[in-house]
Amino acid sequence: MQVKDRNRNRRNIGLLALIALVLQLGIAPAITLGLGHPNFMFVFAAVVALSIGGQTGVVTAFVAGLLMDLSSTGPLGLSSLLFCISCYVLGMEVRDRIAEEPGMTVIPFAVAALGVSLCYGIAMLLYGASESLLEAIVFRALPSTLLTILGYLPFLFVMGRAGAGPLRGGGGKHRSRYTLGNR
């Protein structure tokens, strides 16, 4: 039973990853504020961390960060490092936060997104990709954070409406997530 449920989780995570990747590669380039673009891969990683957390959340964050690094010109491994740490922190609470209190997840998500953007900005400054700290923060990190938070809201809405943790095998608020029969 548990195996079946995990397979379903994997399928749902895979679907969410695909949506996030399409948004990141296809749509994010067209959405700009200052020099910032939304980071849908972080949104995906955070959604998994807030829904499932634990080992799955960290590994998903690593893969999402790696994909983000591969699609950008920044140093390979930097996004994955930041995603892992932030998603580990986001996934520390032992419950499905998105399903239980979706609105309350906005603040931790925003803090995590800001942390990731700022750390990435400082790292890129040290890496030589940006000329000043002010520019890195004002023109890039903050707009990027704002757009990422805005990008999180639709995910939150969909996940919240889906009810009892769609990433955890749940199909809705009033449906049992474990049955003997095929669903």
Residue 53 binds another protein (CB under 8 A)? yes
Among the listed residues 129, 160, 162, 171, the single contact to another protein using CB under 8 A: 129
Neighbouring-strand partners of residue 36: 33
Q: Which is nearer to another protein, 94 or 103 (CB)?
A: 94
Neighbouring-strand partners of residue 138: none
Residue 159 binds another protein (CB under 8 A)? no
Q: Which is nearer to another protein, 162 or 164 (CB)?
A: 164
Q: Which is nearer to another protein, 13 or 81 (CB)?
A: 81
Using alpha carbons, select from 93, 94, 99, 86 the residue that is nearest to residue 46: 86
Among the listed residues 68, 149, 156, 159, the single contact to another protein using CB under 8 A: 68
Decide if 20 contacts 44 (C-beta within 8 A).
yes
In whole angstroms, give the CA distance from residue 77 to residue 60. 14
Residue 78 binds another protein (CB under 8 A)? yes
Q: Which of residues 162-181 bind another protein (CB under 8 A)?
A: 164-165, 168, 170, 174-181
In whole angstroms, give the CA distance from residue 85 to residue 71. 20
Using alpha carbons, select from 167, 177, 176, 169 the residue that is nearest to residue 50: 167
Instruction: Using CB under 8 A, count the residues that bind another protein.
Output: 76
Q: Which stretch binds another protein (CB under 8 A): 102-110, 125-133, 151-159?
A: 125-133
x/- track of binding to another protein for residues 3-42 (CB under 8 A): ------------------xx-xxxxxxx----xxx-x---
Neighbouring-strand partners of residue 33: 36
What torsion do the CA atoms of 99, 82, 88, 11 make, to the nearest 10 degrees? 50
Residue 77 binds another protein (CB under 8 A)? yes
